[in-house]
Structure 1
Amino acid sequence: MAGRERRSDAVANRDRIVEAARAELSESNGATDDLKLHRVAKAAGVGQGTLYRHFPTREHLLAEVYRAELTQLVGTVTPLLAEHAPLDALSRWLDRLVEYARVKRGVMAAIEVAAWQDLYASQHERLDDALETLLEQGKAAGQIRDGVDAADVILLLGALSRIPEADWAERAPRIVAVIVDGLRA
């Protein structure tokens, strides 16, 4: 029984560390070089030893932040479709994707190319599937044009990676709005 308590505490500690790191990345606009691990540990309410036991390197922590962010993003599809018309659900999901893209951009900049490719290869299918679900629902409702798939939209979203950080808050939502307008049936 005591082992279970520690195990749930360890899971809770890990979750708090990831959330604290995500918050730090958001505050620093995705700049991973501003991510101070001692501040992450303090914000999570754990010691540095606990942080390093879960995440031996900054890269490990950043990869987990990316995975957690992707999981949250993918997890919003079903509730959005339950609460909104398909095109509105897609638009709201893409707005959420803008935050994901900011975190992803910071993670990509901090993780070695080979590690990033492995991380992306193991995760991108989930993003594609979520986007395809939104698109298919929109097509079925007659709100999204036929002949468009997730790969098309992801290529368009690649424009987000070209936005200078100083222009992000203004340009990213505008680019997403243009993409949504182009997807309308």
Structure 2
Amino acid sequence: MDETVPNAGGSNPAIAGRRVRADAQRNLDIVLAAAKAVFAEGGVDAPVREIADRAGVGVGTLYRHFPKRADLIAAVFRREMDACADAAPALAAEHPPVEALGNWLQLYVGFVGAKRGLAKALHSGDPAFDALPGYFDQRLRPAFRTLFDAALTAGAIRTDMEPDEILNAVAHLGMSASPDKPGQSERLVGLLIDGLRRNPVGG
């Protein structure tokens, strides 16, 4: 993963530095996307070389950024949390409150489904994973709460449900859905969202 860009920005070190950082981040994103795909296909014990090959980098480069497999797994997990959290404001801007909430919960159940493949590693006791619960509380919970509160304020959803109840219910659906039934989690979450509406679809 080349982190130097010869002559980037000409004689302006500030511009050169920004380009180096942007290139390094882009390459890191490619590595994490490759790791996510390989873990989904072959589990978290898949060969590191397979991840490096898919990302188009050397194994040494991968180890330089992630000395232990647990470091890479934790980084993949944080990246997925960030993507899910960052989707919330975009959905809020593009959809009415209850649709934004429902679309986000569908993204969240997809995130939970990906987490299921990492569950064994995440519960291994490795200290690399110690900060993840706090990161969840910092990133995902507020993103969901913003959408939930907006739908509540708009009078679009029932008032007798606590936010954590909804989040936990979707997590359970994502973790318990049968792997040999594609789309099952999403369908079940769709039913949950319909039941959450003040005026259910078809009601």
What range is the shorter-chain TM-score in?
0.7 to 0.9
1:112-156 alpha-carbon deviations (Å, 9 max, x no partner): 235445322333332111111111111111111113332111221
Q: Is 1:87 aligned to residue 98 of structure 2?
A: yes
Q: 1:150 aligns with which of 163, 169, 174?
A: 163
Higher helix share: 1
The more displaced of 99-108 and 50-59 is 99-108
Q: 2:88 aligns with which of 77, 96, 102?
A: 77
> Residue 32 of structure 2 corresponds to which residue in structure 1?
18
CA shift at 1:6, angstroms? Answer: 4.9
> Residue 31 of structure 1 corresponds to which residue in structure 2?
43
> Residue 54 of structure 1 corresponds to which residue in structure 2?
65
The answer to whether the 8 A contact 1:135-1:149 is kept is no
1:91-126 alpha-carbon deviations (Å, 9 max, x no partner): 111121122112222222223235445322333332
Structure 1: gaps (5+ residues): none
> Residue 146 of structure 2 corresponds to which residue in structure 1?
133
Structure 2 letter corresponding to 1:42: D
**With structure 2 as the length reference, what TM-score do the two structures score?**
0.79
Which has the larger Rg? 2
Q: 1:66 aligns with which of 68, 73, 77?
A: 77
| Percent of residue pairs identical | 33
> Residue 102 of structure 1 corresponds to which residue in structure 2?
113
CA shift at 1:184, angstroms? Answer: 0.7
Structure 2 letter corresponding to 1:17: V
CA distance in 2, matches of 1:98, 1:122: 18
The answer to whether the 8 A contact 1:63-1:107 is kept is no
- Give secondary structure in 2 for the equivalent of 1:97: helix
1:16-63 alpha-carbon deviations (Å, 9 max, x no partner): 11111123234x2x8323x33212111211100000000112211111
CA distance in 2, matches of 1:102, 1:78: 22
